[in-house]
């Protein structure tokens, strides 16, 4: 079994305050893993560590057996941001955004080759945005924007996809399309790590779940980890019956 992400006893602190400690996580190739936790539980911090934005004070990360920086140079990691972190009025077209997924594989001047254009076209087809490829980003709806950023990750042909709250504020059509795409990508042996607080989605299509609250509380197959007791621990001691409503 190929291991995509191996995080071993990760500790991250910001100026002395601990954001994450002793977090260990192993993601095999071809899986969808839901990352569940409260705001401030360390989900974003884990993403930042996996994209090299923060340096762990202890522990190590291997992606496809490589150090983070090396894996990034190999185009192994794609990060799909929360739309809130992006300036939507930025003067770029949908096509430009998706083409940015190819930059890492291009030469220094980033001049697209035929193969890059094909990859972009293909990715746009898969998220059903090909018709809107010349639209500026500002003319898209929230769901279409999410799909554009997902297309960028697909065009990059990364084997590890990190998605920050992909289901936040999207329409039903986009949600369905994204879920289908995740399953396709999983079958192409990609590993997908999704941070979410929508518990029903986790039940529906995540193979694995990791519960986070400053550390990894529980990790494993969805059916085993997704117990009311575990969830109540992850959400800071709410009684299990409060959460039961959200986990059919």
Binding-site ranges for other proteins (CB under 8 A): 51-53, 69, 72-75, 77-79, 81, 85-87, 90-93, 96, 100-101, 103-104, 108-110, 136, 138-139, 152, 156, 162
State which residue, 154 or 218, has the beta carbon closest to other proteins. 154
Per-position DSSP letters for 146-157, written without gaps between them: HHHHHHHHHHHT
Instruction: Give the chain's count of helices (H) and strands (E).
Output: 10, 9
User: Please, are residues 97 and 153 in contact by the beta-carbon 8 Å criterion?
Assistant: no
State which residue, 56 or 101, has the beta carbon closest to other proteins. 101
CB of 137 to other proteins, least distance (A): 8
CB of 200 to other proteins, least distance (A): 28
State which residue, 91 or 248, has the beta carbon closest to other proteins. 91
User: Which residue in 177, 100, 88, 93 sits closest to 133, CA to CA?
Assistant: 93
CB of 51 to other proteins, least distance (A): 4
Please give the Cα distance from 120 to 62 (Å, whole number). 28
CB of 216 to other proteins, least distance (A): 22
Question: Assign residue 214 a region: left if phi > 0, alpha if psi is -120 to 50, beta otherwise?
Answer: left
State which residue, 78 or 225, has the beta carbon closest to other proteins. 78
């Amino acid at each position: 079994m190929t291991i995509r992400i191996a995080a071993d006893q990760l500790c991250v602190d910001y100026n002395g305050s601990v954001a994450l400690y002793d977090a260990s996580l192993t993601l095999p190739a071809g899986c969808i893993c839901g990352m569940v936790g409260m705001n401030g539980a360390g989900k974003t911090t884990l993403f930042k560590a996996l994209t090299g934005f923060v340096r762990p004070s202890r522990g190590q990360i291997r992606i496809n057996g490589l150090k983070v920086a090396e894996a990034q140079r190999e185009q192994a990691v794609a990060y799909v941001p929360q739309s809130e972190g992006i300036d939507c009025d930025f003067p770029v077209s949908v096509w430009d955004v998706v083409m940015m997924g190819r930059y890492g594989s291009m030469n220094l001047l980033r001049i697209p080759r035929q193969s890059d254009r094909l990859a972009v076209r293909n990715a746009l087809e898969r998220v059903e945005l090909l018709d809107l490829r010349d639209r500026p980003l500002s003319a898209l709806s929230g769901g279409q924007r999410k799909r554009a950023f997902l297309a960028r990750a697909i065009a990059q042909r990364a084997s590890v996809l990190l998605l920050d709250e992909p289901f936040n504020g999207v329409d039903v059509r986009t949600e369905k399309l994204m879920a289908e795409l995740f399953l396709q990508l999983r079958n192409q042996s990609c590993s997908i790590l999704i941070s979410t607080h929508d518990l029903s989605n986790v039940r529906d299509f995540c193979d694995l779940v990791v519960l986070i609250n400053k550390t990894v509380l529980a990790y494993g197959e969805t059916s085993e980890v997704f117990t009311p007791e575990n969830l109540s621990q992850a959400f800071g001691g709410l009684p299990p019956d409060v959460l039961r409503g959200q986990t059919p």
